[in-house]
Structure 1
Amino acid sequence: MGFMRSRRRQVNSQIPEVNLVPMMDVLMTVLTFFIIISMSLTGQQISNLRLPQSVAGDAEPEAEIVAIDAMVVGLNRDGELVLDNELATFSQVTQQVRAYFAQNPDGKLIVKADRELSYSEVAGLLTDLRAIGGNRVSLAVE
């Protein structure tokens, strides 16, 4: 009987214990690193602009839309075009967009429009810019 007890203790002591805390620390560090990197690559921020909410079930995930070298055009709540945080006319924007697409054939153009604008204003700008850039023009949502 005493022999069986000691054997049972010996078997239990051979089961290795896995400490998950260091692995979780490493995973959280890596996750934090990728979150910070992805936030810094999402492009320019335009001041005083609130993006509309995204619709559930979007066809394209945002990660595919946002490119590192994407050109960003803003449309503020007053309907004014913003390029590099400065107000611009439509002819200035189209000139910059054409020059950008000439230098970057695979580049993307992202339109950031304020959520308080009417759909017709945003759709009109998107239509005009897509006449220049085709399917490389995207609307940013958050």
Structure 2
Amino acid sequence: MKIHKKKQTSANAEINLTAFLDVVFSILAFFILLSAALTLPNRIGIDLPISDRNSNGDSNSGDLQPEDVFVITLDPAGQMLKDGKSIPFQQLTQEITSFLAASTRGVVVLSADDSTVSYQIVISRLSELRAIAGNRVAIATSRS
């Protein structure tokens, strides 16, 4: 009588990695969420504006006076307006230069209250104004 022995080969051996992969991906997700929560906005390099108003809503005594502000308004076509009238760029440059020479605290304010004015136009006009007035240019904002 012959006894047949079954050969055990390693080709039939299988390792189930499903549970292992579940654990690895769970740990990975944990560390991704943890690192996102620990990132502070000041580490990203964003300089957020600081309010100059106290808790009562009263402004500080260092606020600009109306005579220290030169307001330029943008229309939807990208034209710069002074007191509601279109003004040639050369004349605007001369007026801004004389205004800043006369006012030591003077600021040129770019206002685009119309929501149809594109961001590209605002940025373009802002860079033109910065070429004239340097760091004495601001953008007017409104509450929505």
Q: TM-score, normalised by structure 1?
A: 0.53
> Are the counterparts in 1 of residues 64 and 105 from structure 2 also a CA contact under 8 Å?
no
> Are the counterparts in 2 of residues 65 and 138 from structure 1 also a CA contact under 8 Å?
no
Tell me what 2:103 maps to. 104
Render the CA deviation track for 1:29-74: whole Å, top value 9, x for unaligned. xxxxxxxxxxxxxxxxxxxxxxxxxxxx950448677542201011
Tell me what 2:139 maps to. 139
Unmatched tracts of structure 2, length 5 or more: 1-46, 53-58
Q: Which has the higher helix share?
A: 1
Structure 1 CA distance for aligned equivalents of residues 77 and 140 of structure 2: 18
Show the 5 A alignment for 1:1-142: 58-61=48-51, 67-69=65-67, 70-113=69-112, 114-142=114-142
Are the structure 2 counterparts of residues 119 and 107 from structure 1 closer, same or farther at C-alpha, using a change threshold of 3 Å? same
Structure 1 CA distance for aligned equivalents of residues 89 and 63 of structure 2: 23
Q: TM-score, normalised by structure 2?
A: 0.52
Which residue identity is paired with 1:128? E
Render the CA deviation track for 1:74-94: whole Å, top value 9, x for unaligned. 111121111122111222211
Unmatched tracts of structure 1, length 5 or more: 1-56
Tell me what 1:21 maps to. none
The DSSP-based 3-state class of the residue aligned with 1:135 is coil
Greater RCO, CA 8 A, separation 6+: 1
Render the CA deviation track for 1:71-118: whole Å, top value 9, x for unaligned. 101111121111122111222211111110111122111111132111
> Are the counterparts in 1 of residues 78 and 117 from structure 2 also a CA contact under 8 Å?
yes
CA RMSD of aligned residues (A): 2.3
Stretch deviating more after TM superposition (65-74 or 95-104) = 65-74
- State the number of aligned residues: 86
Are the structure 2 counterparts of residues 77 and 92 from structure 1 closer, same or farther at C-alpha, using a change threshold of 3 Å? same
Q: Percent identity?
A: 29
Whose radius of gyration is greater, 1 or 2?
Answer: 2
Are the structure 2 counterparts of residues 60 and 128 from structure 1 closer, same or farther at C-alpha, using a change threshold of 3 Å? farther
